[in-house]
């Protein structure tokens, strides 16, 4: 692995209280790997032998329902730990993680987790904060799928991706990673046909522009109003 500089991690929450020498100790025990778009980094139910930090790119986290349906429950942005099964007291991964775009991740053997959480100030507390936020987001997504009208669910899903990764362009706010209509279908528990119909209607209304793998929100305010509508 190329020798990464400590400054790459110094601003990230799990490492923000650590000295450069402590970060160096952690980096020296890491492996680095690049993942092409669409590649699974690990799969639900497989042995959790490593934990990870996303350096660049975006990940989709996918859960399988008891009925065998796959649902995208959240996305992970650069600078976040993931695959932290030990924090859940698990020895298998609770979900599948797939590269939503070309991504680079560091990883460590799971046997180092107890040492890192005991030795490095802030590593454990920040990791559990991350975990708590993700569990809350998953619960919010599942509640939306169970209780909200389809159009509201799809609007909320698009806005979540915009809030997490959006970048301003001349046309509006672009979701920074490739996203297909099938991906949105998997995020919202609805059909591909329904997602396509909604995006086409929003495009005609001047709210979004979408191509095969990219979405630009051209009128964020109207999408926010739509996602908050009652009924």
Q: How do the domains of the chain map onto residue ranges?
A: 7-145, 148-228
Candidate CATH numbers 3.40.50.300, 3.30.310.50, 2.60.40.10, 1.10.10.10; the one for domain 148-228: 1.10.10.10
CA distance 112 to 131: 18
pLDDT by residue for the chain (231 residues), tens digit each? 457 788 888 888 888 888 999 999 999 999 999 999 999 999 999 999 999 999 999 999 998 888 888 889 889 989 889 999 988 889 999 999 999 999 999 999 999 999 999 999 888 888 888 888 888 877 777 777 777 789 999 999 999 899 888 889 888 999 989 999 999 998 888 899 999 999 999 999 999 998 888 899 999 999 899 888 654
CATH topology of domain 7-145: Jelly Rolls (2.60.120)
Calculate the alpha carbon distances from 133 to 6, 78, 128, 138, 196 in Å. 26, 16, 9, 9, 30
CA distance 95 to 45: 7
Q: Is 164 exposed, middle or buried (0-12, 13-18, 19+ CB in 10 A)?
A: middle
Question: Cα-flanking dihedrals φ and ψ of residue 19, to 5°?
Answer: -75, 165
Strand partners, 107: 31, 52
pTM above 0.85, yes or no: no
């Amino acid at each position: 692995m190329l020798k990464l500089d400590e400054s790459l991690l110094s601003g990230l929450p799990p490492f923000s209280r650590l000295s450069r020498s402590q970060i160096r100790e952690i980096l020296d025990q890491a492996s680095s790997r690049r993942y092409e778009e669409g590649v699974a980094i690990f799969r639900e139910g497989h042995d959790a032998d490593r934990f990870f930090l996303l350096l660049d790119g975006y990940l989709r986290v996918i859960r399988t329902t008891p009925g065998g349906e796959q649902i995208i429950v959240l996305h992970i942005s650069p600078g976040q730990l993931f695959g932290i099964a030990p924090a859940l007291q698990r020895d298998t991964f609770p979900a599948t993680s797939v590269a939503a775009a070309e991504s680079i991740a560091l990883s460590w053997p799971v046997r180092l987790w107890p040492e890192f959480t005991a030795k490095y100030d802030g590593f454990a507390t920040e990791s559990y904060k991350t975990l708590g936020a993700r569990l809350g987001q998953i619960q919010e997504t599942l509640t939306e799928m169970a209780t909200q009208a389809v159009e509201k669910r799809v609007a909320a899903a698009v806005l979540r991706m915009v809030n997490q990764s959006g970048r301003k362009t001349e046309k509006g706010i672009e979701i920074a990673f490739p996203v297909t209509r099938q991906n949105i279908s998997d995020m919202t528990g609805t059909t591909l046909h329904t997602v396509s119909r909604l995006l086409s209607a929003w495009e005609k209304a001047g709210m979004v522009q979408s191509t095969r793998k990219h979405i630009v929100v051209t009128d964020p305010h109207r999408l926010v109003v739509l996602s908050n509508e009652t009924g």
